[in-house]
Amino acid sequence: MSLTLSHRLILPTDANHYGTLYAGSLLRLTLEAAYATAWRHAGADANLVLRRVLNLECLRPVPVGTVIEIQGIVMHRTQTYLITALVGSPLANDQGPWMEALLGFAQTDKEGRPDALPGNPEGDPVPDTETWHRLKDRLQKLLKLR
C-alpha cells in the first residue's frame, strides 16, 4: 500500500483563542487520518480500534484558513496490531512538518477480542526523507520501551 493522504480546511471551530489549531481538534484530525491509513492498509474487512497514542507532536501553529495535508503509512505490524506513522505536510516550502504522530490500532472480532489482521502482512515502505526516518527511529525506541 502507498501513502494515505488526508486533507482538511482548518475552520474557526477548530481554533483556540490564538486563532490557530486547537489541541483537541489536532487530536481528532490526527486520529481520523491514522484510522484512514490503518483501514486502507488492512482492507474493508478490518475492525480496528485505537489502542494507543504512542507519540503526537505539534511542531508549529496552524492558522485558521489553512488547508492541511496529513500523510500516513503503516510503519509496524504484528498479527493483531499495527502502528501508523503520520506527518503533517509543511505549510510553506521553507518549513518542516507541522505535526508528527505514531498511533497504534488493534484488530478485534465481533466480541471485541483481539483478532488477526486481514490484508497485507507487511508494513508500508518508509519514504526516504529525514522526517520519515526520524519517525521510524522514534518508533523503534518506543517499541523497545514497551
pLDDT per residue as tens digits for the range 117-128:
987 777 788 999
Cell 504512542 -> residue: 54
Rg of the chain taking only CA atoms, in angstroms: 15
57 in Cβ contact with 46 (< 8 Å) = no
pLDDT tens, 50-91? 999 999 999 999 999 999 999 999 999 999 999 999 999 988
Q: Which pLDDT does position 146 carry in this prediction?
A: 61
pLDDT at 90: 82
Q: What is the mean pLDDT of the chain?
A: 93
**CATH number for the domain that contains residue 85:** 3.10.129.10
Can you give the residue range of the structural domain that contains 120?
4-145
Mean pLDDT of 38-45: 92
Q: What is the domain count for the chain?
A: 1
Quick check: 1 pLDDT over 60? no
pLDDT at 100 over 60: yes
* Alpha carbon 96 to its chain's center: 17
> Could you tell me the CA-to-CA distances from 25 to 2, 78, 126 in Å, in that order?
26, 29, 27
Residue 144: pLDDT band with limits 50, 70, 90? confident
